[in-house]
Amino acid sequence: AFQESGGSADFIDSMKPVDGDLICAKKGLCAFFGTDLGDLLEKNGIDTIILAGFLTNCCIESTMRTAYEKGYKVITLFDCCCAASIDAHESSFKHSFEMFSIRTTSNLVEFSS
């Protein structure tokens, strides 16, 4: 079972939210399902999503497909995602991500606050 806070659910220090960050508690495989993510993005005029995280071939892929279907520009950071195996990670990018997402790496993305 997953916990909403404490232990492995907490943000690591270098990624803790700061004032103005949007926070959406994910409830399933897709970050849109059962959450207010779509509303938060729309309310704040956000049309591009950058994906990173665990289970490339499951959670990240589910969120990518839904975001694409909702009309968002989707960018996925290849070096900031992982799966249970390297083969699963690479296969997802080879077969699914190139249809619905722009593949890039974290060193090629410029973040601003």
Q: pTM of the full predicted structure?
A: 0.84
| pLDDT tens for each residue of the chain, 113 residues long | 455 666 666 777 887 888 988 888 888 899 999 999 999 999 999 999 999 988 988 999 999 999 999 999 999 999 999 999 999 888 888 888 889 999 999 988 887 65
Assign residue 71 a region (left: φ > 0; alpha: ψ between -120 and 50; beta: otherwise): left
Which 3 state secondary structure label does DSSP give 49?
strand
Cβ contacts of residue 77 below 8 Å, gap of 6+? 50, 51, 52, 104, 105, 106, 109
Identify the pLDDT of residue 92.
86
**Amino acid 113: pLDDT:** 58
Which pLDDT value is given to residue 17? 86
Question: How far is Cα 39 from Cα 111, in angstroms, rounded to an integer?
Answer: 22
Amino acid found at 46: I
